[in-house]
Every structure is written in structure tokens, then in C-alpha cells.
Amino acid sequence: MAKITKKTKISKENKRLRERYQSLPTDTLDIIDGLIDRAAYMRVTIDEMEEDIDTKGIVEMFSQSEYQEPYERERPVVKQYIQMSKNYQSIIRQLDDKLPKVRAETGGDDFDDFAAGRDE
């Protein structure tokens, strides 16, 4: 089976995100275009980091020199993973804030609609 390139994965994720936000007005899409691109890149990169962490673990043996006793330390990719995950979540939150708010179906007596329509 042929390995899918990172560029192809990013394109696929970019398309998925654009479909999610396609209902937004064109001027809003123009504004969030870069966020969508960044989010697609970050999602694919985070997935790659997860694979690396799953394969190689969270910690590694490390020594400053050959004369020092090696000790366990957190692998640098773990910190990068955590930071990128936070940034990705922030971007997705920003994008989702642009979507129209969906009101929860309460099944009640439409009191909110009544109260919002009052002319007092």
C-alpha cells in the first residue's frame, strides 16, 4: 500500500475543514482562510507527533556528555505536541465561533421566543 504524503493529508484535512465552514459568508471565509490552512497543517502534524510518541514513548535516556550518568527526561516532541495541541484547539474554537449559534432544542413552551419578541 502506498504511503500517503503529509502534503496530501493536509490537503484532505483542509478540504474537510472548508466543507465544515462553507456556509459562512464569503467575506468571513476570506478572513478565516489562513486559520483553516493552519488548522489543517497542525492537525496532520499533531497526528504525526502522536505516532512518534506512541512508538518511542514520552521519555528518553539523556546525558550531557559521555562522562555523565544518563537520566530520563521528557522527549522534546512531547512539549511540542502539547503546545501545538493547545494552539490547534484555540484555532478550532475561533473558527467555530464564526459559525451561527445553534439553539438547543428544549421541547418547552417557547417562552424564550415569546420573551425575545416582547416590545416593552
**pTM check: above 0.75:** yes
Residue 119 has pLDDT above 60, yes or no: no
Residue 45 has pLDDT above 90, yes or no: yes
- Residues 70 and 61: beta-carbon distance below 8 Å: yes
3-state secondary structure labels for all residues of 52-72: HHHHHCCEEEECCCCCCCCEE
> When comparing pLDDT for 104 and 93, which is higher?
93
User: What's CA 114's distance to the chain center, in Å?
Assistant: 38
CB burial of residue 36 (10 Å; 0-12, 13-18, 19+): buried
Mean pLDDT of 31-44: 96
Q: Give the number of other Cβ atoms within 10 Å of residue 40's Cβ.
A: 21
Mean pLDDT of 40-56: 98
> When comparing pLDDT for 101 and 51, which is higher?
51
Banded pLDDT at 13 (limits 50, 70, 90): very high
Mean pLDDT of 82-104: 90
* Predicted pLDDT of residue 110: 60
* Predicted pLDDT of residue 2: 72
14-20: list long-range contacts, CB under 8 Å, 24+ apart. 14/40, 16/40, 17/95
> When comparing pLDDT for 29 and 2, which is higher?
29
| Residues paired with residue 72 on neighbouring β-strands, in sequence order | 61
Mean pLDDT of 35-41: 97
